[in-house]
Amino acid sequence: MERSVTFWFEFASTYSYLSVMRISSAAQARGVDVAWKPFLLGPIFAAQSWDTSLFNIYPAKGRYMWRDMQRICAARGLPFRRPDRFPQNGLAAARLALAAAEQDRIEAFAQAVFQAQFGDGADISAEPVLLDCLHKAGLDAALIDRAQSPGIKSALRGQTDAARAAGIFGAPSFTIGTELFWGDDRLEQALDHAAARTI
């Protein structure tokens, strides 16, 4: 049985930033492979009659989250800057991530996008920002066109449907078989569970 974890992340998610920046090294230390799965929380939230992040719906929770992010990023040596608008529209970034995956560069691209958004406070729905992220990930600007292809659009819809079917309700989430772990603070637990599977 393969030791692997499926990593579900959303580009609008603050805590996904934390996991994107560390999952590979943590998984490698345990001999676990990572399958990167960008998806969209919007449709999942809409099914619950939410039209925005719960951090906006519950202001006290939102205030706590931003302070929590400041503390964690400082402790981990990660840059952090709160973007002017939250949550951001991560649709174009998610499509580009799937295009980057075709060239085995999804991790580098995802890290560039999250650093732009939560490290620099940039608008990740803006094409110039995404072009810069492609450049930082060593990818060609032509992927902007590839990301608009029917195949990529269909793949992202399919991954979002798969996330919903897996019972995912937030990001980041990690699945190993039918086991679901939610949140950056459950990353180690998820990886340990994957590592303990019998090969």
Q: List residues with catalytic annotation.
A: 13
Closest among 71, 67, 2 to 31, alpha carbons compared: 2
Q: Compute how many other C-beta atoms are within 10 angstroms of the C-beta atom of residue 97.
A: 27
Rounded to whole angstroms, the Cα distance separating 112 from 130 reads 9
Rounded to whole angstroms, the Cα distance separating 112 from 199 reads 34
Rounded to whole angstroms, the Cα distance separating 135 from 115 reads 14
Q: Is 173 helix (H, G, I), strand (E, B) or coil?
A: strand
Provide the token pair at 102.
Answer: 């075709």
DSSP string, 71-131: HHHHHHT------SSSS---HHHHHHHHHHHTTT-HHHHHHHHHIIIIIT---TTSHHHHH
Rounded to whole angstroms, the Cα distance separating 151 from 70 reads 38
Strands 173-176 and 4-9: antiparallel
